[in-house]
Amino acid sequence: MPIPARIAQLSPQITDWRRALHRIPELGYDLPQTTAFVAEKLRAMGCDSVTMGLGRAGIVAEIIGTGGANHAIALRADMDALPITEATGAPYASQIAGQMHACGHDGHTAMLLGAAQYLCETRAFSGRAVLVFQPAEEGGAGGLAMVNDGLISRFGISEIYALHNMPGQAAGTFAINSGAMMASADFFDILITGRGGHAAKPQDAVDAVLIAAHLITALQSVTARNIDPLEAAVLSVCMIDTDSRAPNVLPQEVRLSGTARALSAPVRDALETRLRAICAGVAATFGAQIAVDYQRGYPVTVNSPDQADFAATAALAVTGQPTAPAAPMMGAEDFSYMLSAAGEHGQGGAYMFLGNGDSAMLHHPAYQFNDAIIPAGVAWFAALIEQRLPL
Ligand SMILES: [Zn+2]
Ligand SMILES: [Zn+2]
């Protein structure tokens, strides 16, 4: 450390891998070309085991250090892309219409492959490095699928680490917190059933549109009046639809859909409780029926304090700079499932932001992963293994 010479030497090769993956962005669990590419590289570099199909399309590789194979530290990358039409004009742009690596998961996967190459060659650690390549991070809960397939217990993982590139953060710098890094993301559908009729005879109807307007306004009182102002919470109604198709017809039904997000489990629970209570109260007030379908999505991404410190120490070794505190985000990340499973069955884990420099934001058609940050990311993965599993 800082950047080991061998990692600097490997970086052009890793950049080629990143660009090769960028050309073949695949979605969700449907990753045949991506998983074939990753598995072929892992086998060629001499990993001690390569397991396919964990969590449907996940891959797990093990590398045993020269000091024996007792403890296991896991490093995770995500492999899936997004249904976005690329607008970067890069020579290695997506060759699959309507799909793009717009979240930089091609970079994460290539950096973890680079770390695998380095660790296979050097093996200067005592224990097992477990490399986890997951499918379906973008909404498909691939991380949960791998946990449910026994990821943590099967590979005896005691700690797990991951990083995400972050546009707007100085290129190659690291940022982390102890505690919450990313929010929980839950989703709701609310069906208001009134009584439809002629728009000129509102007295004979139960106007579901007016009820929806009151309900949307009342829901904003949850974050404004029920949640501690020092806690973070989002409650957004994002879709509204009625079954009326004419301007002189009051609908029978109005459907609202949206998302609720929080950085702690108690606030997450409070959002659901208050949303349900307000729906019941508005239904009673206006004489309508309101049905709520509330689906829990990804939980809060929480770094355990010790592992956040270890992650920061590894970053310090790479950059020579103390890590900046990360600003938590209200987006969600399904690495949260692996963190909580590692906390239950092992010591815990941590999730790090790696600055991508000035670029378009994640999920934007002009977003570009910054290949200049590859050495820092690879060196951080390698440092975690060598520091957490010392010879
Ligand atoms: Zn994303
Ligand atoms: Zn992402």
Residues of the chain with CATH 3.30.70.360: 189-295
- CATH 3.40.630.10: which residues of the chain? 5-182+300-388
Query: What is the Cα–Cα distance from 152 to 385, expressed in whole angstroms?
Result: 17
CA 172 to ligand 1 centroid distance, Å:
19
Give the pLDDT of the chain (391 residues) as one tens digit per residue: 589 999 999 999 999 999 999 999 999 999 999 999 999 999 999 999 999 999 999 999 999 999 987 799 999 999 999 999 999 999 999 999 999 999 999 999 999 999 999 999 999 999 999 999 999 999 999 999 999 999 999 999 999 999 999 999 999 999 999 999 999 999 999 999 999 999 999 999 999 999 999 999 999 999 999 999 999 999 999 999 999 999 999 999 999 999 999 999 999 999 999 999 999 999 999 999 999 999 999 999 999 999 999 999 999 999 999 999 998 999 999 999 999 999 999 999 999 999 999 999 999 999 999 999 999 999 999 999 999 999 9
Residue 344 Cα to ligand 2 midpoint, Å, equals 24
Q: Which residues surround ligand 2, an ion (CB under 5 A)?
A: 103
Q: Which ligand is nearest to the CA of 134?
A: 2
Interval between CA 138 and ligand 1 midpoint (Å): 6
Ligand nearest to the CA of 165: 2
Q: Are 50 and 40 in contact (CB under 8 A)?
A: no
Taking the centre of ligand 1 as the mean of its atom positions, its distance from the CA of residue 345, in whole angstroms, is: 27
- Architecture label for domain 5-182+300-388: 3-Layer(aba) Sandwich (3.40)
Nearest bound ligand to CA 139? 1
Q: How far is CA 209 from CA 202, 214, 256, in A?
A: 11, 9, 11
Whole-prediction pTM value? 0.94
For residue 174, give the nearest of 387, 356, 301 by alpha carbon: 356
Q: Is the peptide bond before 2 cis (omega within 30 degrees of 0)?
A: yes
Residue among 51, 108, 117 at smallest CA distance from 335: 108
Q: How far away, in angstroms, is 289 Cα from ligand 2 center?
A: 39
189-295 CATH pick, 3.40.50.1970, 3.40.50.2000, 3.30.70.360, 3.40.630.10: 3.30.70.360
Ligand 1 centroid to residue 362 C-alpha, Å: 6
